[in-house]
Amino acid sequence: MKPKILFLCTGNSARSQIAEGLLRSMAGEHFDVFSAGTEPKGSILPEVQEAMREIGIDISKQWSKSVTEYLGKAHFAHVITVCADAEENCPAVFLNMGTHEHFPFDDPSKAEEEQRLELTRRVRDQIEQRLHLWLTEQSITPIDYRQL
């Protein structure tokens, strides 16, 4: 059974969705990957879908969901918060599971509409770099999904 990873943010509309899609593409054979929000927005930002499509990752099957969907139902080997608000508001039950790490990134949803795609791309690339480092720390060689 593969270890479960949970990426947690506030709205589950951008950063945690990006991280879920990236890790699934980079090391999906090693982990079951999930994302959730402390206050889910109910949808993924169109700019997030576009930025992921640009690098060949289809996240159209992912959806915005609440962290409460997993309470009492799943044990996560790793819980990774990707925003300060989620770090502060993460249910303690998740912080007591496995490894808890905090990877802070800017929030694309807070950018002006005309700058949102550019910020989303930058955040996507930062998350990818951080996950690459994290996988190396786990002694896992990431798949070069961009060449698939």
CATH of the domain at 74: 3.40.50.2300
Beta-bridge partner residues of 35: 7
Number of domains the chain contains: 1
Distance in angstroms (rounded) separating the CA atoms of residues 27 and 5 = 11
Nearest-10 crossing angle of helices 15-27, 46-54: 30
Q: Which of 5, 6, 9, 18 is catalytic?
A: 9
Q: What is the DSSP string of 112-128?
A: -HHHHHHHHHHHHHHHH
Our answer to whether residue 137 is catalytic in this structure is no
Percent of the chain with pLDDT over 90: 70
Distance in angstroms (rounded) separating the CA atoms of residues 44 and 90 = 20
Our answer to whether residue 45 is catalytic in this structure is no
Q: How many CA atoms lie within 13 A of 47 on its CB side?
A: 21
117-129 per-position pLDDT tens digit: 999 999 999 999 9
Residue range(s) defining the domain that contains residue 68: 4-147
Distance in angstroms (rounded) separating the CA atoms of residues 120 and 112 = 11
pLDDT interval class at 59 (50, 70, 90) = very high
What pLDDT shows up at residue 148? Answer: 54
Under 8 Å between Cβ of 103 and 135: no
Q: Which of 33, 80, 90, 117 is catalytic?
A: 90
Our answer to whether residue 121 is catalytic in this structure is no
Distance in angstroms (rounded) separating the CA atoms of residues 25 and 83 = 22
Alpha helices in 2-141 (DSSP H): 15-27, 46-54, 84-89, 92-95, 113-137
Closest by Cα among 97, 93, 87, 98 to 38: 87
pTM: 0.93
Query: Mean pLDDT across the stretch 62-66?
Result: 94
Q: Which of 8, 45, 59, 83 is catalytic?
A: 83
Under 8 Å between Cβ of 35 and 17: yes
